[in-house]
């Protein structure tokens, strides 16, 4: 929503239907529904390919299992976003996804560990990846 508030057009792809409904309601209440397109679909669906077509950048926050086949779709894409802001709570799948993207020219430009749950071993990795 903060990105949409800057005037950017945002497509939000989310697997959980209730989360999509919540985003739609929040966007309507904030007067941003004309800038946010909430889409209920998995990364591996044809709707995902349609959603990212023409995107300049993607913000992804996948489940612990990572992006899976979607990482390969990004790697194989000749056109598409040139930047990926990747948020991950699972270092293993995060590294696997980066390993899939690297041969296609994607490079980590910045990497930050966010301690969202102090005094636990959990953290969120946030990386800016570009090609």
β-pairing verdict for 10-14 and 57-60: unpaired
Catalytic positions, please?
A: 89
Distance CA(57)–CA(64), nearest Å, equals 22
User: What does the longest C-alpha to C-alpha distance in the chain come to?
Assistant: 43
Q: Per the structure block, which two tokens stand in for 75?
A: 């790697």
């Amino acid at each position: 929503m903060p990105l949409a508030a800057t005037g950017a057009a945002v497509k939000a792809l989310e697997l959980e239907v209730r989360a999509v409904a919540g985003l739609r309601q929040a966007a309507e209440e904030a007067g941003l529904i004309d800038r946010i397109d909430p889409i209920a679909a998995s990364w591996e669906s044809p709707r995902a390919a349609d959603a990212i077509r023409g995107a300049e950048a993607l913000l992804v926050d996948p489940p612990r299992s990572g992006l899976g086949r979607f990482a390969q779709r990004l790697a194989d894409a000749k056109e598409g976003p040139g930047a990926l802001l990747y948020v991950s709570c699972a270092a293993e799948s995060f590294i696997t996804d980066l390993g899939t993207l690297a041969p296609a020219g994607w490079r980590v430009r910045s990497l930050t560990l966010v301690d969202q749950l102090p005094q636990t071993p959990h953290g969120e990795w946030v990386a800016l990846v570009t090609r």
